[in-house]
Amino acid sequence: MTTRRGFLVRGAGAAVAASLPVAGVPAQTVGHAVPAAAGDRERWLGWVERVSEPLLVALSRRELRKVMPVEAKTGLREQRAVGTHLEALGRLLMGLAPWLELEPVADESVRETELRERYRGYARLAIASAVDPESPDYMRWGDSAQTVVDASFLALALLRAPKQLLGTMDERTRAGMVTALVKERRILTGLNNWVLFAAMDEALLFRLGAEWDRMRVAYALNELESWYLGDGVYGDGPHFHADNYDSYVMQPYLLMLMQVLADEEKPWAAMREGIVARATRYAAIQERIIGPDGTFPVLGRSITYRAGAFHLLADAALRGVLPEGVSGAQVRCALTAVQARTLDAPGTFDAQGWLQIGLAGHQPGLGEAYISTGSLYLCSAAWLPLGLAHAHPFWSAPAEPWTQKKVWAGADAAADHAFAETRP
């Protein structure tokens, strides 16, 4: 059996192992090298393990509050400590969930099969602990506004792994989850992306067979429709924000709400086609903002979510709704480059392996007042395509340059055009 340490050393990301070389990354920034023949999937699994291992092991032992550091703005550590552990749990699992759901196939490496099975076990223990009032890692549902955010990320994780996480819950854990989600209703959401957090909690209550509130879902969907600005972009509230929240939250949440609840009401079903089309257009925009070296604009709030900025692009790849002319292979290579720049930089992890605030290393000044250690695990969103099997073209097709890499190397490419639609 391959040891955890052996997998980490062979599988973790490093710029020297890219299917397409990532220019401009100094050799000294490369962590745990992996042979080039190992391929992109092995590199991604290396990042999965390096990011996830300390967190999942602590959760499985009910020791997260005991061992996880809480990095936050000066004077805010105690305040952030109320919700940061739920942030870490929900955000990590929402990115891991499609891979945890995937069944092994004949050509899968023994290392991947063993790692996934171990992480499934850790995740199940973590969820049970999170809703157990007797657990030292009970997640203090509803005790701060932040918990409504991350209850929804955990809900999203469970909806992305209906067999392996949701379907394996025992009755006590299911009852505890229902109780936890109902507690989140005491949190009033603002007129912004938070309306989707409340709606996602209701979507999970629906899947759990519990009483759920259609009005919270209807309110979120109707508000997002009114905030649509054109060309695949929603406002975060009534106004445009130059940030990544269309990807962090709005578009992936809308896609999941359509997947779970669209058929429950005719007006919601009528929204589905438009929501998917807008997501496809926004995925095209996201693919085009990744620079030739894997960098992207340092713009807007929550930039310390690192590769989580491409939550929607990863989700579009997983769902098979990438835009025409954008292949899975070029998205794979682009996301590999982004992760190399954001996870291999010195200072990304502390001495015990926990993520530190920053985008390309340890840069605490980039963190807003609401950012703490648990917040950073939203970087897992980039891993959604691991839910596609090895044989899927996303993984099996030869490497391709993404748009900026191709254009700035002098290659020809199709012109970009705005997405036109007739609004209902």
- pLDDT tier, 12 (very low <50, low <70, confident <90, very high otherwise): very low
Residue type present at position 237: G
| Mean pLDDT for the stretch of residues 4-14 | 37
Q: What are phi and psi of 345, to 5 degrees?
A: -65, 140
18: pLDDT strictly greater than 90: no
| Mean pLDDT for the stretch of residues 51-59 | 98
Cα first-last separation, the chain:
57
Give the tokens for residue 324.
Answer: 């025409």
Q: List pLDDT tens digits, range 333-388.
A: 999 999 999 999 999 999 999 999 999 999 999 999 999 999 999 999 999 999 99
Distance of CA 18 to the CA centre of its chain: 22
| Mean pLDDT for the stretch of residues 267-278 | 98
Burial degree of 263 (CB within 10 A; 0-12, 13-18, 19+): exposed
- pLDDT tier, 107 (very low <50, low <70, confident <90, very high otherwise): confident
- Spatial neighbors of 199 by CB under 8 A, at least 6 apart, are 216, 217, 219, 220, 221, 253, 257
- pLDDT tier, 106 (very low <50, low <70, confident <90, very high otherwise): confident
Q: Residue 25: its pLDDT value, please? A: 30
Distance, in Å, from the CA atom of 16 to the CA atom of 35, rounded to the nearest integer, reads 8
- Spatial neighbors of 269 by CB under 8 A, at least 6 apart, are 262, 263
Q: What are phi and psi of 243, to 5 degrees?
A: -155, -165
| Mean pLDDT for the stretch of residues 196-201 | 98
- Which contiguous run of DSSP H or E holds residue 230? strand 228-230
Q: Residue 423: its pLDDT value, please? A: 57
Q: What pTM was computed for the model?
A: 0.91
Buried b (16+ CB within 10 A) or exposed e, 379-391: bbbbbbbbbbebe
Burial degree of 423 (CB within 10 A; 0-12, 13-18, 19+): exposed
* Residue entry with tokens 């955990």: 154
Q: Which is more confident, 387 or 17? A: 387
- Distances from the Cα of 277 to the Cα of 218, 254, 280, 334, 382, angstroms: 20, 12, 5, 22, 21
* Overall residue count recorded for the chain in this entry: 424
Q: List pLDDT tens digits, range 220-269.
A: 999 999 999 999 999 999 999 999 999 999 999 999 999 999 999 999 99
Q: Residue 373: its pLDDT value, please? A: 98
31: pLDDT strictly greater than 50: no
- Spatial neighbors of 79 by CB under 8 A, at least 6 apart, are 72, 144
- pLDDT tier, 38 (very low <50, low <70, confident <90, very high otherwise): very low
Neighbours of 401 (CB within 10 A): 18
Averaged confidence pLDDT in the chain: 91
Q: Residue 422: its pLDDT value, please? A: 63
- Taking the domains of the chain in order of start, what are their residue ranges? 4-407
Q: Which is more confident, 342 or 188? A: 342
| Mean pLDDT for the stretch of residues 188-199 | 95
Overall fold of domain 4-407: Glycosyltransferase (1.50.10)
Q: List pLDDT tens digits, range 277-336.
A: 999 999 999 999 999 999 999 999 999 999 999 999 999 999 999 999 999 999 999 999
